[in-house]
Structure 1
């Protein structure tokens, strides 16, 4: 089974209009939360489990922040849904456990956080809705913290 998963296109991860950004941010957070819940069950490493709990906590906060910002802008955010790529990533994780799970989970987290950083940075700089630009800008240092934590693991 090939563990490599094709990354979404630039258009999927760097929208500058509100609704595509809201959908992409929701999908990103949902992947982080769902994959991390799986990590709490299947990871061998205590460091991976600690990281996973941080992902659940932080990405729940960023989801709430984007949702609040969208509503402040008069928008109705759709319920988060995984993109096809993220669904495939979850499917690759599900049969694994222990060290094999830890390796793939951390690899996927690096990829997911690189995409999330591009998404939020681009929207914070070029997005069309001020309230959402602020939420995106607030997410950037959180994502950078996660990338740094991954580099230290």
Structure 2
């Protein structure tokens, strides 16, 4: 199993235990953004940006967009590797060794039943911790639908504009997620990683906004 796929399932299933362990170990103040929810949202958001960029890189005929998507793929892979290296190493057999934060090791060892009451943890974090007006995250189903729409479109101006819109949305969500954790996340090391991602996210938002203005609205 891919390391990020494992992080998604474990982080969403055991967010409550991750919150408790990290808070006890580090004296995290109440109201900090839960690490499990952050890993869940950041991983899913990163995969959306990476997968849409890979599709666009193989289909667009726009040289500027091809250059952007190549940089986007590199950005997402590098960020995922940083998070993986910090939280733990997943071996070929699926086992995990705790990284400096000890987070993945704790998640792997945790019984899934512990998180029975946190099915809505991610939604609560978005509404309560991020606190961004109109800043609700798109659902997994919405992300899947946008990716499916992109993969079904033929190359051309319509495709390029659709990709730019989807990627801009994904980057705006990424800015909220990583920005919130950088500000109030439970784990100091992950806060530094989240903070380090913000300048490039902002650069990409600016670049996508310029492209969107040049391309105009998506037709149909």
Tell me which interval the TM-score lies in, with the shorter structure as reference length: 0.7 to 0.9
Question: Secondary structure of the residue that 1:124 maps to in structure 2?
Answer: helix
CA displacement at 1:67 relative to structure 2: 1.8
Are 1:39 and 2:56 an aligned pair? yes
Offset of residue 69 of structure 1: 2.6
Aligned counterpart for 1:144 among listed residues 175, 199, 202: 202
| 1:3-152 correspondence runs (5 A) | 16-71=33-88, 72-76=100-104, 83-96=140-153, 97-152=155-210
User: Any conservation in 2 of the 1:69–1:135 contact (CA below 8 Å)?
Assistant: no
Contact map agreement 1:117 1:144 (CA 8 A) in 2: yes
Q: TM-score, normalised by structure 2?
A: 0.58
Instruction: State the alpha-carbon separation in 2 of the partners of residues 120 and 46 from structure 1.
Output: 29
Q: 4+ residue stretches of structure 1 with deviation over 6 A?
A: none
Distance (Å, rounded) in 1 between the aligned partners of 2:83 and 2:145:
25
Instruction: Write out per-residue CA displacement over residues 31-64 of structure 1, whole angstroms, 9 at most, x where no aligned residue.
Output: 1111111001221211111111010001111111
Per-residue CA distance 1:66-108 (angstroms, 9 max, x = gap): 2223232111299xxx932221110111111221110100011
Mark the structure with the bigger radius of gyration.
Answer: 2
The 2-side partners of 1:69 and 1:122 are apart by: 19
Specify every segment of 5 or more residues in structure 1 that has no aligned partner in the other structure, as ranges: 1-14
